[in-house]
Chains A and B, each alone.
Chain A
Amino acid sequence: MFRALLSDARTWTYIVDALSTLVDEANFVAKPDGLSMRAMDPSHVAMVDFVLPSDAFDEYECDQETLLGVNLDEMKKIMRRARSGDTLEMIYEEAEKRLKLRLRGKTVRTFSIHLLDITAEELPEPSVEFKAFAIITADALQEAVKDAAVTSDHVKIVIQPDKVTFRAMGDLGEVVVEMGKDSEALLDIQASEESAATYTLNYLADMIKVAKAADTVKLQLSTDMPLRIDFNLPGGGRVSYFLAPRIEGE
Protein backbone atom coordinates (compact mmCIF):
# COMPACT_ATOMS: atom_id res chain seq x y z
CA MET A 1 0.00 0.00 0.00
CA PHE A 2 1.01 3.61 -0.50
CA ARG A 3 -0.36 6.78 1.06
CA ALA A 4 1.34 10.15 1.41
CA LEU A 5 0.29 13.56 2.65
CA LEU A 6 1.81 16.94 1.80
CA SER A 7 0.62 19.94 3.80
CA ASP A 8 1.27 22.24 0.84
CA ALA A 9 -0.18 20.78 -2.36
CA ARG A 10 1.66 23.33 -4.47
CA THR A 11 4.99 21.67 -3.76
CA TRP A 12 3.69 18.71 -5.75
CA THR A 13 2.35 21.02 -8.48
CA TYR A 14 5.84 22.42 -9.06
CA ILE A 15 7.43 18.98 -9.03
CA VAL A 16 4.95 17.53 -11.52
CA ASP A 17 5.34 20.61 -13.73
CA ALA A 18 9.09 20.10 -13.75
CA LEU A 19 8.94 16.36 -14.48
CA SER A 20 6.34 16.72 -17.24
CA THR A 21 8.57 19.02 -19.28
CA LEU A 22 10.89 16.11 -20.07
CA VAL A 23 8.62 13.06 -20.36
CA ASP A 24 4.95 12.36 -21.01
CA GLU A 25 4.71 9.11 -19.11
CA ALA A 26 6.96 7.70 -16.42
CA ASN A 27 7.04 5.54 -13.32
CA PHE A 28 7.16 6.94 -9.82
CA VAL A 29 8.83 4.44 -7.52
CA ALA A 30 7.27 4.38 -4.05
CA LYS A 31 9.46 2.75 -1.42
CA PRO A 32 9.26 2.69 2.37
CA ASP A 33 11.92 5.42 2.50
CA GLY A 34 10.34 7.78 -0.04
CA LEU A 35 9.14 8.51 -3.54
CA SER A 36 11.40 8.85 -6.59
CA MET A 37 11.45 9.05 -10.37
CA ARG A 38 14.21 8.89 -12.94
CA ALA A 39 13.40 9.53 -16.58
CA MET A 40 15.04 10.65 -19.78
CA ASP A 41 13.54 12.70 -22.61
CA PRO A 42 12.97 10.79 -25.89
CA SER A 43 16.08 12.24 -27.54
CA HIS A 44 18.28 11.35 -24.54
CA VAL A 45 19.60 14.88 -24.20
CA ALA A 46 18.29 15.39 -20.69
CA MET A 47 17.52 13.28 -17.67
CA VAL A 48 15.63 14.06 -14.49
CA ASP A 49 16.27 12.39 -11.17
CA PHE A 50 13.72 13.20 -8.49
CA VAL A 51 13.75 12.07 -4.85
CA LEU A 52 11.35 13.03 -2.09
CA PRO A 53 12.23 11.13 1.10
CA SER A 54 9.46 9.92 3.41
CA ASP A 55 10.24 12.55 6.04
CA ALA A 56 9.65 15.36 3.53
CA PHE A 57 5.99 14.31 3.63
CA ASP A 58 3.77 15.15 6.58
CA GLU A 59 2.49 11.61 6.61
CA TYR A 60 3.92 8.70 4.63
CA GLU A 61 3.07 5.02 4.50
CA CYS A 62 4.50 2.50 2.08
CA ASP A 63 5.06 -1.16 2.97
CA GLN A 64 6.75 -2.34 -0.22
CA GLU A 65 8.26 -1.04 -3.44
CA THR A 66 5.46 -0.06 -5.81
CA LEU A 67 5.67 1.25 -9.38
CA LEU A 68 3.19 3.99 -10.13
CA GLY A 69 3.14 4.59 -13.89
CA VAL A 70 1.46 7.89 -14.64
CA ASN A 71 0.67 10.17 -17.51
CA LEU A 72 2.35 13.31 -16.23
CA ASP A 73 0.22 15.66 -18.33
CA GLU A 74 -2.89 14.21 -16.70
CA MET A 75 -1.37 14.64 -13.26
CA LYS A 76 -0.30 18.17 -14.14
CA LYS A 77 -3.86 19.08 -15.13
CA ILE A 78 -5.12 17.83 -11.79
CA MET A 79 -2.43 19.66 -9.82
CA ARG A 80 -3.27 22.89 -11.64
CA ARG A 81 -6.54 22.70 -9.71
CA ALA A 82 -4.73 22.90 -6.35
CA ARG A 83 -5.43 26.12 -4.48
CA SER A 84 -3.22 27.97 -2.05
CA GLY A 85 -3.68 26.41 1.37
CA ASP A 86 -4.78 23.02 0.02
CA THR A 87 -3.23 19.86 1.37
CA LEU A 88 -2.58 16.92 -0.93
CA GLU A 89 -3.11 13.28 -0.07
CA MET A 90 -2.02 10.60 -2.53
CA ILE A 91 -3.50 7.13 -2.15
CA TYR A 92 -2.73 4.13 -4.31
CA GLU A 93 -5.75 1.89 -4.89
CA GLU A 94 -4.15 -1.43 -5.58
CA ALA A 95 -7.28 -3.32 -6.58
CA GLU A 96 -8.31 -0.75 -9.15
CA LYS A 97 -4.84 0.22 -10.36
CA ARG A 98 -5.65 3.83 -9.66
CA LEU A 99 -3.97 6.70 -7.88
CA LYS A 100 -6.21 9.04 -5.93
CA LEU A 101 -5.14 12.65 -5.46
CA ARG A 102 -7.17 14.31 -2.71
CA LEU A 103 -7.02 18.09 -2.36
CA ARG A 104 -8.33 19.26 0.97
CA GLY A 105 -9.08 22.97 1.46
CA LYS A 106 -12.44 24.65 1.77
CA THR A 107 -13.84 21.51 0.15
CA VAL A 108 -12.52 18.00 -0.30
CA ARG A 109 -11.79 17.15 -3.91
CA THR A 110 -10.71 13.70 -5.00
CA PHE A 111 -9.24 13.06 -8.45
CA SER A 112 -8.46 9.52 -9.62
CA ILE A 113 -6.10 8.62 -12.41
CA HIS A 114 -5.58 5.27 -14.00
CA LEU A 115 -2.10 3.94 -13.66
CA LEU A 116 -0.21 2.78 -16.71
CA ASP A 117 2.03 -0.20 -17.30
CA ILE A 118 5.18 1.52 -18.46
CA THR A 119 8.07 -0.66 -19.45
CA ALA A 120 11.20 1.38 -19.00
CA GLU A 121 14.75 0.22 -18.63
CA GLU A 122 16.37 1.15 -15.38
CA LEU A 123 18.43 4.25 -16.01
CA PRO A 124 21.94 4.55 -14.66
CA GLU A 125 23.31 7.91 -13.62
CA PRO A 126 25.64 9.40 -16.26
CA SER A 127 29.20 8.95 -15.08
CA VAL A 128 30.88 12.32 -15.13
CA GLU A 129 33.72 13.59 -13.01
CA PHE A 130 32.79 17.17 -12.20
CA LYS A 131 35.71 19.62 -11.99
CA ALA A 132 33.69 22.62 -10.88
CA PHE A 133 30.54 23.59 -9.03
CA ALA A 134 28.68 26.75 -8.10
CA ILE A 135 25.76 27.21 -5.75
CA ILE A 136 23.58 30.14 -6.74
CA THR A 137 20.10 31.33 -5.87
CA ALA A 138 17.36 29.66 -7.88
CA ASP A 139 16.00 32.97 -9.14
CA ALA A 140 19.45 34.12 -10.29
CA LEU A 141 19.61 31.03 -12.52
CA GLN A 142 16.13 31.74 -13.83
CA GLU A 143 17.08 35.30 -14.72
CA ALA A 144 20.38 34.27 -16.33
CA VAL A 145 18.63 31.74 -18.58
CA LYS A 146 16.06 34.34 -19.63
CA ASP A 147 18.81 36.90 -20.29
CA ALA A 148 20.71 34.45 -22.49
CA ALA A 149 17.55 33.63 -24.45
CA VAL A 150 17.38 37.26 -25.60
CA THR A 151 20.09 36.65 -28.17
CA SER A 152 20.66 32.93 -28.65
CA ASP A 153 19.29 29.42 -28.35
CA HIS A 154 22.28 28.13 -26.42
CA VAL A 155 24.44 29.34 -23.57
CA LYS A 156 28.00 28.71 -22.47
CA ILE A 157 28.41 28.28 -18.73
CA VAL A 158 31.90 28.99 -17.38
CA ILE A 159 32.89 28.24 -13.79
CA GLN A 160 36.20 29.75 -12.60
CA PRO A 161 37.52 29.68 -9.02
CA ASP A 162 35.97 33.07 -8.28
CA LYS A 163 32.98 33.47 -10.58
CA VAL A 164 30.39 31.84 -12.76
CA THR A 165 29.60 33.32 -16.17
CA PHE A 166 26.72 32.71 -18.58
CA ARG A 167 27.65 33.74 -22.11
CA ALA A 168 25.24 33.64 -25.07
CA MET A 169 26.31 34.54 -28.59
CA GLY A 170 23.75 35.15 -31.28
CA ASP A 171 23.99 36.30 -34.88
CA LEU A 172 23.29 39.85 -33.80
CA GLY A 173 24.82 40.22 -30.39
CA GLU A 174 26.08 38.81 -27.14
CA VAL A 175 24.83 38.51 -23.58
CA VAL A 176 27.13 38.04 -20.59
CA VAL A 177 25.81 37.40 -17.07
CA GLU A 178 28.41 37.26 -14.30
CA MET A 179 28.11 36.24 -10.67
CA GLY A 180 31.31 36.96 -8.75
CA LYS A 181 32.25 36.22 -5.18
CA ASP A 182 30.85 39.61 -4.12
CA SER A 183 27.47 38.82 -5.69
CA GLU A 184 24.52 38.06 -3.45
CA ALA A 185 23.43 35.43 -5.95
CA LEU A 186 26.59 33.34 -5.57
CA LEU A 187 26.63 31.31 -2.37
CA ASP A 188 29.53 28.95 -2.92
CA ILE A 189 31.93 28.11 -5.72
CA GLN A 190 34.78 25.75 -6.33
CA ALA A 191 36.74 24.91 -9.47
CA SER A 192 39.82 22.72 -9.58
CA GLU A 193 40.22 24.07 -13.10
CA GLU A 194 38.30 26.55 -15.23
CA SER A 195 35.42 24.55 -16.71
CA ALA A 196 33.15 25.56 -19.56
CA ALA A 197 30.51 23.90 -21.68
CA THR A 198 27.60 24.96 -23.91
CA TYR A 199 24.01 23.86 -23.38
CA THR A 200 20.72 24.24 -25.23
CA LEU A 201 18.54 26.93 -23.71
CA ASN A 202 15.26 25.17 -24.57
CA TYR A 203 16.07 22.45 -22.12
CA LEU A 204 17.41 24.80 -19.46
CA ALA A 205 14.25 26.89 -19.72
CA ASP A 206 12.17 23.80 -18.95
CA MET A 207 14.43 22.73 -16.13
CA ILE A 208 14.33 26.02 -14.26
CA LYS A 209 10.56 25.73 -13.89
CA VAL A 210 11.14 23.87 -10.66
CA ALA A 211 13.12 26.85 -9.34
CA LYS A 212 9.82 28.14 -7.98
CA ALA A 213 9.86 25.31 -5.44
CA ALA A 214 13.53 25.70 -4.48
CA ASP A 215 15.68 28.39 -2.89
CA THR A 216 19.12 27.48 -4.16
CA VAL A 217 20.55 25.47 -6.98
CA LYS A 218 23.87 23.70 -7.44
CA LEU A 219 25.45 23.64 -10.89
CA GLN A 220 28.18 21.11 -11.60
CA LEU A 221 30.12 20.69 -14.82
CA SER A 222 33.39 19.86 -16.52
CA THR A 223 34.57 21.15 -19.87
CA ASP A 224 32.39 19.75 -22.70
CA MET A 225 30.68 17.39 -20.29
CA PRO A 226 27.07 17.14 -19.15
CA LEU A 227 25.72 19.68 -16.71
CA ARG A 228 24.20 18.54 -13.44
CA ILE A 229 21.68 20.85 -11.80
CA ASP A 230 20.42 20.08 -8.29
CA PHE A 231 17.43 21.89 -6.90
CA ASN A 232 17.09 21.21 -3.19
CA LEU A 233 13.47 21.33 -2.15
CA PRO A 234 12.64 23.01 1.15
CA GLY A 235 11.71 20.33 3.68
CA GLY A 236 13.97 17.75 2.07
CA GLY A 237 14.06 16.14 -1.34
CA ARG A 238 15.63 17.23 -4.58
CA VAL A 239 15.10 17.46 -8.32
CA SER A 240 18.30 16.88 -10.29
CA TYR A 241 18.82 17.23 -14.00
CA PHE A 242 21.55 16.05 -16.32
CA LEU A 243 21.88 17.87 -19.62
CA ALA A 244 24.14 16.78 -22.49
CA PRO A 245 26.42 19.51 -23.85
CA ARG A 246 26.73 20.88 -27.36
CA ILE A 247 30.18 20.41 -28.75
CA GLU A 248 31.17 23.11 -31.21
CA GLY A 249 33.23 22.37 -34.31
CA GLU A 250 35.32 19.31 -35.06
Chain B
Amino acid sequence: MGVNLRGIVKAKEITLMDLRGKAISIDAYNALYQFLAIIRQPDGTPLKDSQGRITSHLSGLLYRTVNLVENGIKPVYVFDGKPPELKAMEIERRKAVKEEAVKKYEEALARGDLEAARMYAQATSVLTEDMVNQAKRLLDLMGIPYVQAPSEGEAQAAYMAKKGDVFACGSQDYDSLLFGAPRLVRNISITGRRKLPRKNVYIEVKPELIVLDEILKDLGISREQLIDIAILVGTDYNPEGIKGIGPKKALALIKQYGSLEKALKHIPGASFPVDPVEIKEIFLKPQVTDSYEVKWRQPDIEGVVKFLCGEHDFSESRVRKAVEKLDKAMKETKTRTSLDMWFKK
Protein backbone atom coordinates (compact mmCIF):
# COMPACT_ATOMS: atom_id res chain seq x y z
CA MET B 1 0.00 0.00 0.00
CA GLY B 2 2.61 2.52 1.07
CA VAL B 3 2.25 6.12 2.12
CA ASN B 4 0.42 8.57 -0.10
CA LEU B 5 2.36 11.79 -0.64
CA ARG B 6 1.01 12.51 -4.09
CA GLY B 7 -0.48 15.88 -3.14
CA ILE B 8 2.79 17.44 -2.01
CA VAL B 9 5.56 15.64 -3.88
CA LYS B 10 6.43 17.08 -7.27
CA ALA B 11 7.49 14.62 -9.94
CA LYS B 12 9.18 15.24 -13.26
CA GLU B 13 7.88 13.35 -16.24
CA ILE B 14 10.72 11.45 -17.90
CA THR B 15 11.13 8.80 -20.56
CA LEU B 16 12.77 5.40 -20.18
CA MET B 17 15.53 6.75 -22.45
CA ASP B 18 16.51 9.22 -19.72
CA LEU B 19 17.42 6.21 -17.57
CA ARG B 20 19.68 4.69 -20.25
CA GLY B 21 22.77 3.10 -18.78
CA LYS B 22 21.48 3.40 -15.22
CA ALA B 23 20.94 0.68 -12.64
CA ILE B 24 17.53 0.82 -10.96
CA SER B 25 16.52 -1.20 -7.90
CA ILE B 26 12.98 -2.36 -8.47
CA ASP B 27 10.63 -3.23 -5.64
CA ALA B 28 9.94 -6.85 -6.68
CA TYR B 29 6.74 -7.39 -4.67
CA ASN B 30 5.36 -4.10 -5.89
CA ALA B 31 6.09 -5.04 -9.51
CA LEU B 32 4.79 -8.63 -9.19
CA TYR B 33 1.55 -7.46 -7.55
CA GLN B 34 1.07 -5.02 -10.40
CA PHE B 35 1.55 -7.76 -12.97
CA LEU B 36 -0.94 -9.95 -11.08
CA ALA B 37 -3.46 -7.12 -10.98
CA ILE B 38 -3.12 -5.99 -14.57
CA ILE B 39 -2.35 -9.10 -16.61
CA ARG B 40 -5.79 -10.66 -16.67
CA GLN B 41 -8.40 -11.72 -19.14
CA PRO B 42 -11.46 -9.50 -19.69
CA ASP B 43 -13.47 -11.35 -17.00
CA GLY B 44 -10.68 -10.94 -14.47
CA THR B 45 -9.18 -14.42 -14.69
CA PRO B 46 -5.40 -14.33 -14.44
CA LEU B 47 -3.18 -16.18 -16.92
CA LYS B 48 -2.77 -19.84 -15.97
CA ASP B 49 -0.83 -22.84 -17.19
CA SER B 50 -2.38 -26.23 -17.99
CA GLN B 51 -2.13 -27.26 -14.35
CA GLY B 52 -4.09 -24.21 -13.26
CA ARG B 53 -1.12 -22.38 -11.79
CA ILE B 54 -1.19 -18.58 -12.15
CA THR B 55 1.46 -17.22 -14.53
CA SER B 56 0.56 -13.51 -14.85
CA HIS B 57 3.52 -12.54 -12.65
CA LEU B 58 5.99 -14.48 -14.83
CA SER B 59 4.60 -13.04 -18.03
CA GLY B 60 4.89 -9.48 -16.68
CA LEU B 61 8.34 -10.06 -15.26
CA LEU B 62 9.67 -11.44 -18.54
CA TYR B 63 8.27 -8.93 -20.99
CA ARG B 64 8.66 -5.88 -18.77
CA THR B 65 12.25 -6.70 -17.86
CA VAL B 66 13.16 -7.26 -21.50
CA ASN B 67 11.61 -3.89 -22.29
CA LEU B 68 13.65 -2.15 -19.59
CA VAL B 69 16.94 -3.73 -20.70
CA GLU B 70 16.15 -2.83 -24.32
CA ASN B 71 15.97 0.77 -23.14
CA GLY B 72 19.46 0.43 -21.71
CA ILE B 73 18.25 0.20 -18.09
CA LYS B 74 19.94 -2.26 -15.74
CA PRO B 75 17.27 -3.56 -13.37
CA VAL B 76 17.96 -5.25 -10.05
CA TYR B 77 14.95 -6.63 -8.22
CA VAL B 78 14.71 -6.34 -4.44
CA PHE B 79 12.52 -8.84 -2.60
CA ASP B 80 10.90 -8.18 0.78
CA GLY B 81 12.12 -10.19 3.73
CA LYS B 82 10.38 -10.59 7.07
CA PRO B 83 8.08 -7.62 7.67
CA PRO B 84 8.64 -5.57 10.85
CA GLU B 85 6.26 -6.59 13.64
CA LEU B 86 4.64 -3.18 13.50
CA LYS B 87 3.27 -4.10 10.08
CA ALA B 88 1.05 -6.91 11.42
CA MET B 89 -2.01 -4.70 11.44
CA GLU B 90 -1.54 -3.59 7.84
CA ILE B 91 -1.05 -7.20 6.78
CA GLU B 92 -4.31 -8.16 8.50
CA ARG B 93 -6.04 -5.22 6.87
CA ARG B 94 -4.80 -6.25 3.41
CA LYS B 95 -6.02 -9.79 4.00
CA ALA B 96 -9.47 -8.49 4.90
CA VAL B 97 -9.56 -6.24 1.81
CA LYS B 98 -8.66 -9.22 -0.37
CA GLU B 99 -11.29 -11.48 1.17
CA GLU B 100 -13.87 -8.77 0.59
CA ALA B 101 -12.69 -8.37 -3.02
CA VAL B 102 -12.92 -12.13 -3.63
CA LYS B 103 -16.52 -12.06 -2.42
CA LYS B 104 -17.43 -9.12 -4.62
CA TYR B 105 -15.62 -10.69 -7.58
CA GLU B 106 -17.63 -13.88 -7.27
CA GLU B 107 -20.89 -11.93 -6.91
CA ALA B 108 -20.09 -9.88 -10.00
CA LEU B 109 -19.25 -13.01 -11.98
CA ALA B 110 -22.47 -14.65 -10.84
CA ARG B 111 -24.56 -11.75 -12.10
CA GLY B 112 -22.51 -11.59 -15.31
CA ASP B 113 -21.03 -8.10 -14.77
CA LEU B 114 -17.62 -8.72 -16.36
CA GLU B 115 -16.46 -5.14 -16.05
CA ALA B 116 -17.00 -5.18 -12.29
CA ALA B 117 -15.59 -8.71 -12.03
CA ARG B 118 -12.37 -7.59 -13.64
CA MET B 119 -12.13 -4.58 -11.36
CA TYR B 120 -12.62 -6.62 -8.18
CA ALA B 121 -10.36 -9.38 -9.48
CA GLN B 122 -7.47 -6.91 -9.60
CA ALA B 123 -7.71 -6.50 -5.84
CA THR B 124 -7.77 -10.22 -5.10
CA SER B 125 -4.19 -10.97 -6.11
CA VAL B 126 -2.22 -13.03 -3.65
CA LEU B 127 1.49 -13.52 -4.14
CA THR B 128 2.40 -16.94 -2.78
CA GLU B 129 5.82 -18.21 -1.78
CA ASP B 130 5.79 -20.48 -4.83
CA MET B 131 5.19 -17.52 -7.10
CA VAL B 132 8.03 -15.57 -5.50
CA ASN B 133 10.36 -18.54 -5.99
CA GLN B 134 9.29 -18.87 -9.62
CA ALA B 135 10.02 -15.18 -10.15
CA LYS B 136 13.50 -15.56 -8.65
CA ARG B 137 14.19 -18.60 -10.81
CA LEU B 138 13.12 -16.71 -13.92
CA LEU B 139 15.39 -13.78 -13.02
CA ASP B 140 18.31 -16.15 -12.53
CA LEU B 141 17.74 -17.65 -15.97
CA MET B 142 17.40 -14.20 -17.49
CA GLY B 143 20.72 -13.08 -16.00
CA ILE B 144 19.04 -10.31 -14.00
CA PRO B 145 20.30 -9.83 -10.42
CA TYR B 146 18.02 -9.78 -7.39
CA VAL B 147 18.61 -8.97 -3.77
CA GLN B 148 16.89 -10.56 -0.79
CA ALA B 149 16.18 -7.84 1.77
CA PRO B 150 16.37 -8.79 5.45
CA SER B 151 13.17 -6.86 6.11
CA GLU B 152 11.43 -4.16 4.05
CA GLY B 153 12.43 -4.30 0.37
CA GLU B 154 12.01 -0.55 -0.04
CA ALA B 155 14.47 0.04 2.79
CA GLN B 156 17.05 -2.20 1.15
CA ALA B 157 16.47 -0.59 -2.25
CA ALA B 158 16.87 2.87 -0.73
CA TYR B 159 20.09 1.78 0.99
CA MET B 160 21.52 0.54 -2.32
CA ALA B 161 20.64 3.85 -3.98
CA LYS B 162 22.22 5.81 -1.12
CA LYS B 163 25.40 3.77 -1.52
CA GLY B 164 25.41 4.55 -5.25
CA ASP B 165 25.05 0.92 -6.38
CA VAL B 166 21.89 1.95 -8.20
CA PHE B 167 20.81 5.31 -9.57
CA ALA B 168 17.24 5.22 -8.26
CA CYS B 169 14.54 3.07 -6.67
CA GLY B 170 11.69 1.94 -8.88
CA SER B 171 8.34 1.59 -7.14
CA GLN B 172 4.81 2.97 -7.16
CA ASP B 173 5.07 3.71 -3.43
CA TYR B 174 6.74 6.75 -1.96
CA ASP B 175 8.15 4.82 1.02
CA SER B 176 11.67 4.56 -0.39
CA LEU B 177 11.94 8.37 -0.09
CA LEU B 178 11.17 8.04 3.62
CA PHE B 179 13.91 5.43 3.83
CA GLY B 180 16.28 8.01 2.33
CA ALA B 181 16.46 7.02 -1.34
CA PRO B 182 17.95 9.97 -3.23
CA ARG B 183 15.75 9.26 -6.26
CA LEU B 184 12.50 7.46 -6.91
CA VAL B 185 11.16 6.46 -10.34
CA ARG B 186 7.43 5.75 -10.44
CA ASN B 187 5.53 3.91 -13.18
CA ILE B 188 8.68 2.11 -14.29
CA SER B 189 7.02 -1.28 -14.47
CA ILE B 190 3.67 -0.23 -15.92
CA THR B 191 4.48 2.37 -18.55
CA GLY B 192 2.22 2.38 -21.56
CA ARG B 193 -1.45 2.64 -22.32
CA ARG B 194 -3.71 1.74 -19.42
CA LYS B 195 -7.45 1.51 -19.31
CA LEU B 196 -9.15 3.40 -16.51
CA PRO B 197 -11.39 1.09 -14.47
CA ARG B 198 -15.09 1.29 -15.27
CA LYS B 199 -14.47 3.71 -18.10
CA ASN B 200 -13.73 3.18 -21.72
CA VAL B 201 -10.87 5.62 -21.41
CA TYR B 202 -7.21 4.93 -21.94
CA ILE B 203 -4.48 7.01 -20.39
CA GLU B 204 -0.81 7.08 -21.22
CA VAL B 205 1.23 6.18 -18.13
CA LYS B 206 4.68 7.72 -18.23
CA PRO B 207 7.58 7.23 -15.86
CA GLU B 208 8.25 10.04 -13.42
CA LEU B 209 11.33 10.95 -11.43
CA ILE B 210 11.24 12.32 -7.89
CA VAL B 211 14.47 13.66 -6.41
CA LEU B 212 14.50 13.64 -2.60
CA ASP B 213 16.75 16.69 -2.16
CA GLU B 214 14.64 18.69 -4.56
CA ILE B 215 11.34 17.94 -2.86
CA LEU B 216 12.79 18.61 0.59
CA LYS B 217 14.15 21.94 -0.64
CA ASP B 218 10.90 22.73 -2.39
CA LEU B 219 8.81 21.96 0.70
CA GLY B 220 11.32 23.54 3.07
CA ILE B 221 11.52 20.50 5.36
CA SER B 222 14.00 17.79 6.42
CA ARG B 223 13.70 14.06 5.69
CA GLU B 224 12.71 13.52 9.31
CA GLN B 225 9.88 15.98 8.88
CA LEU B 226 8.81 14.19 5.70
CA ILE B 227 8.57 11.01 7.79
CA ASP B 228 6.50 12.94 10.36
CA ILE B 229 4.14 14.01 7.61
CA ALA B 230 3.86 10.43 6.36
CA ILE B 231 3.00 9.20 9.85
CA LEU B 232 0.21 11.76 10.14
CA VAL B 233 -1.17 10.75 6.73
CA GLY B 234 -0.76 7.03 7.37
CA THR B 235 2.01 4.51 6.67
CA ASP B 236 2.10 0.73 6.42
CA TYR B 237 2.53 0.71 10.20
CA ASN B 238 -0.44 2.96 10.96
CA PRO B 239 -2.55 2.62 7.82
CA GLU B 240 -5.40 4.78 9.09
CA GLY B 241 -3.20 7.78 9.81
CA ILE B 242 -5.08 10.51 11.61
CA LYS B 243 -8.62 11.12 10.54
CA GLY B 244 -9.07 14.17 8.37
CA ILE B 245 -5.38 14.75 7.76
CA GLY B 246 -4.11 14.43 4.20
CA PRO B 247 -0.68 15.27 2.81
CA LYS B 248 -1.32 19.01 2.51
CA LYS B 249 -2.70 19.46 6.00
CA ALA B 250 0.07 17.30 7.45
CA LEU B 251 2.70 19.44 5.71
CA ALA B 252 1.14 22.62 7.12
CA LEU B 253 1.04 21.12 10.66
CA ILE B 254 4.65 19.93 10.59
CA LYS B 255 5.85 23.22 9.18
CA GLN B 256 3.93 25.13 11.85
CA TYR B 257 5.00 23.05 14.86
CA GLY B 258 8.32 21.66 13.66
CA SER B 259 7.87 18.00 14.53
CA LEU B 260 5.35 15.22 14.94
CA GLU B 261 5.69 15.24 18.71
CA LYS B 262 4.94 18.95 18.94
CA ALA B 263 2.20 18.85 16.31
CA LEU B 264 0.37 16.07 18.14
CA LYS B 265 -0.19 18.35 21.14
CA HIS B 266 -2.33 20.49 18.89
CA ILE B 267 -4.37 17.71 17.29
CA PRO B 268 -7.13 16.79 19.69
CA GLY B 269 -8.02 13.12 19.74
CA ALA B 270 -5.01 11.97 17.70
CA SER B 271 -4.26 8.36 18.48
CA PHE B 272 -1.97 5.69 17.08
CA PRO B 273 -2.27 1.91 17.04
CA VAL B 274 1.48 1.72 17.72
CA ASP B 275 4.00 4.12 19.16
CA PRO B 276 4.78 6.70 16.45
CA VAL B 277 8.35 6.92 17.73
CA GLU B 278 8.83 3.27 16.74
CA ILE B 279 7.45 3.98 13.26
CA LYS B 280 9.95 6.78 12.89
CA GLU B 281 12.75 4.40 13.95
CA ILE B 282 11.85 1.96 11.19
CA PHE B 283 12.25 4.68 8.56
CA LEU B 284 15.38 6.19 10.07
CA LYS B 285 17.20 3.00 11.05
CA PRO B 286 15.82 0.22 8.87
CA GLN B 287 17.22 -3.29 8.76
CA VAL B 288 19.38 -3.60 5.64
CA THR B 289 22.21 -5.78 4.41
CA ASP B 290 25.52 -5.33 2.59
CA SER B 291 25.69 -8.93 1.47
CA TYR B 292 24.45 -8.70 -2.07
CA GLU B 293 25.96 -8.76 -5.51
CA VAL B 294 24.66 -6.76 -8.44
CA LYS B 295 25.84 -8.28 -11.71
CA TRP B 296 24.13 -8.65 -15.06
CA ARG B 297 24.75 -11.77 -17.15
CA GLN B 298 23.72 -12.95 -20.60
CA PRO B 299 20.43 -14.85 -20.39
CA ASP B 300 20.25 -18.64 -20.55
CA ILE B 301 17.93 -18.66 -23.57
CA GLU B 302 17.24 -22.41 -23.56
CA GLY B 303 16.76 -22.33 -19.79
CA VAL B 304 14.10 -19.64 -19.97
CA VAL B 305 12.30 -21.47 -22.80
CA LYS B 306 12.37 -24.76 -20.89
CA PHE B 307 11.06 -23.13 -17.73
CA LEU B 308 8.31 -20.94 -19.21
CA CYS B 309 7.27 -23.08 -22.17
CA GLY B 310 8.09 -26.56 -20.86
CA GLU B 311 6.73 -26.09 -17.33
CA HIS B 312 4.24 -23.26 -17.66
CA ASP B 313 2.89 -23.56 -21.22
CA PHE B 314 4.00 -20.15 -22.55
CA SER B 315 4.13 -19.74 -26.32
CA GLU B 316 7.61 -20.77 -27.39
CA SER B 317 7.90 -18.40 -30.34
CA ARG B 318 7.00 -15.37 -28.21
CA VAL B 319 9.27 -16.31 -25.32
CA ARG B 320 12.19 -17.12 -27.60
CA LYS B 321 11.80 -13.80 -29.39
CA ALA B 322 11.74 -11.92 -26.09
CA VAL B 323 14.80 -13.64 -24.64
CA GLU B 324 16.74 -13.18 -27.86
CA LYS B 325 15.98 -9.47 -27.64
CA LEU B 326 17.18 -9.54 -24.05
CA ASP B 327 20.39 -11.29 -25.08
CA LYS B 328 21.12 -8.64 -27.71
CA ALA B 329 20.19 -5.71 -25.45
CA MET B 330 22.32 -7.08 -22.60
CA LYS B 331 25.37 -7.28 -24.87
CA GLU B 332 24.74 -3.72 -25.97
CA THR B 333 24.37 -2.56 -22.36
CA LYS B 334 27.66 -4.17 -21.43
CA THR B 335 29.56 -2.49 -24.25
CA ARG B 336 28.28 0.95 -23.35
CA THR B 337 30.27 3.04 -20.89
CA SER B 338 29.60 6.45 -19.39
CA LEU B 339 31.91 9.36 -18.77
CA ASP B 340 31.35 8.94 -15.02
CA MET B 341 34.08 6.29 -15.09
CA TRP B 342 36.60 8.97 -16.00
CA PHE B 343 35.67 11.64 -13.50
CA LYS B 344 38.16 11.83 -10.68
CA LYS B 345 36.40 10.91 -7.48
Residues of A within 8 A of B (CB): 40, 42-47, 119, 124, 126-128, 198, 200, 225-226, 242, 244-250
A246–B341 Cα gap in the complex (Å)?
12
Q: Is there an interface contact between A45 and B342, defined as CB atoms closer than 8 Å?
A: no
Measured CA separation A47–B18 after assembly (Å): 15
A-B contact count (CB 8 A): 56
Q: Does B338 have its Cβ within 8 Å of any Cβ on chain A? A: yes
5 CB contacts below 8 A, A to B, read A119-B214, A128-B342, A246-B336, A246-B337, A247-B335
Q: In the complex, how many residues of chain B place their beta carbon closer than 8 angstroms to a beta carbon of chain A? A: 18
B343 with A247: CB separation less than 8 A: no
Chain B 210-223: CB-based contact to A (< 8 A → 1; otherwise 0): 00001000000000
Q: B335 contacts A126, CB within 8 Å?
A: no
Question: Which chain A residues lie closer than 8 Å to B336 at the CB level?
Answer: 45, 200, 244, 246
Least distance between B246 CB and chain A CB atoms (Å): 29
Chain A positions within 8 Å of B344 at CB level: 124, 127
The CA of A40 and the CA of B21, in the complex, are separated in Å by 14
A244 engages B335 (CB within 8 Å)? no
Residue among A40, A42, A246, A247 making CB contact with B339, cutoff 8 Å: A40
The minimal Cβ–Cβ distance linking B248 to chain A, given in whole angstroms, is 24
Given contacts A43-B72, A45-B21, contact A244 B343 (CB under 8 A): no
Are the CB atoms of A43 and B20 closer together than 8 Å?
yes
Q: Are A242 and B335 in contact (CB under 8 A)?
A: no
> Is the pair A45, B343 in contact by a Cβ cutoff of 8 Å?
no
Residues of A within 8 A of B337 (CB): 45, 244-247
* Contact residues of B between 321 and 345, Cβ < 8 Å to A: 334-344
Nearest CB on A from B242, distance (A): 34
Bound-complex Cα distance A157 to B21 (A): 23
Q: Chain A interface mostly helix, strand, loop or mixed?
A: loop
Kindly list chain A residues whose C-beta atoms are within 8 Å of the C-beta of B22.
43
Q: How far is the CA of A226 from the CA of B338 in the complex (A)?
A: 9
Taking the closest CB of chain B, its distance from the CB of A123, in whole angstroms, is 8
Q: Taking the nearest CB of chain A, how far is it from the CB of B41, in angstroms?
A: 38
Q: How distant is the Cα of A2 from the Cα of B341 in the complex, in angstroms?
A: 36
In the bound complex, residues from chain B placing their C-beta under 8 Å from that of A246 are 335-337
Given A42-B18, A43-B72, A250-B334, are A127 and B341 neighbors across the interface (CB < 8 Å)?
Answer: no
Bound-state CA distance A225–B339 (Å) is: 9
Q: Which of chain A's residues have a CB closer than 8 A to the CB of B72?
A: 43
For A225, the chain B residues whose CB sits under 8 A away are: 342
* Distance of A124 Cα from B339 Cα, bound (Å): 11
